[in-house]
Amino acid sequence: MDGLFFLPSCPLALTRAYWLDPDHRIMTSYPMLIEPSIVEFDRIVATIESSNTSDYDMEIVNTIYRDHALILSHRPYALLTGEFRETIHTRYLGNSREVWSPQKALMEAKTVHFSDWPVPIVCLPSVYLTKKSLFGSSCGQNLNSLGLISLQML
């Protein structure tokens, strides 16, 4: 990911949330390349202080930078684990002509974000996981066969 540091100077470089409606142009907060700046820091702090308690990092970033950020392609910088459960991959692929290959997607990904609704967050102590919730996949591929995770099931 060293190549990101050779991008043109800008306050913020990030990807769009490919899993959301592309017409809304929502940017995601992962990953972000932030150029240090006291002015930008003050803008962010002011926006956080005036935001609702229900606003998350993505809302803050989109409020400030919606039309003023360098947009990176989500491929290869942002891949959700939930993509492996999907049956339609056109949002990730960016077109309807390319054939989905989970192995190719995993190999080209620079980062993989573990976000796999409805599978609960595994770090919470009250969560009990089943093999079906972890490894089942409607598109015939699963995280286990790709070597992404290896868990001892209780």
User: Tell me: the pLDDT tens digits for 95-153?
Assistant: 999 999 999 999 999 988 887 777 766 665 544 444 445 445 454 444 455 544 444 33
The residue ranges of DSSP E strands in 22-128, in sequence order, are: 27-34, 70-72, 79-80, 112-113
Contact 104, 95 (CB under 8 A): no
Give the pLDDT band of residue 10 (cuts 50, 70, 90): very high
Q: And the tokens for 103?
A: 């192995």
| Spatial distance between the Cα atoms of 66 and 64, rounded to a whole number of angstroms | 6
Give 138's Cβ-side CA count (13 Å radius).
7
Cα–Cα distances (Å) from 79 to 14, 59, 104, 154, in that order, read 13, 20, 12, 28
The alpha carbon of residue 94 and the mean position of all alpha carbons in its chain are separated, in whole angstroms, by 15
| Spatial distance between the Cα atoms of 153 and 106, rounded to a whole number of angstroms | 24
Say if residue 72's pLDDT is above 90: yes
pLDDT at 116: 72
pLDDT at 120: 66
Say if residue 14's pLDDT is above 90: yes
pLDDT at 44: 92
| Spatial distance between the Cα atoms of 86 and 93, rounded to a whole number of angstroms | 12
List, in sequence order, every residue forming a beta bridge with 70; answer none if it has no partner. 13
Contacts of 103 (CB under 8 A, 6+ apart): 146
- pLDDT tens digits for range 39-69: 999 999 999 999 988 888 899 999 999 889 9
Say if residue 35's pLDDT is above 50: yes
pLDDT at 34: 92
pLDDT at 121: 62
Q: Is residue 25 classed as helix, strand or coil in its secondary structure?
A: coil
| In the block, residue with structure tokens 């969560």 | 127
User: What is the C-alpha radius of gyration for the chain, rounded to an integer number of angstroms?
Assistant: 18
- Higher-confidence residue: 139 or 37? 37
pLDDT at 127: 47
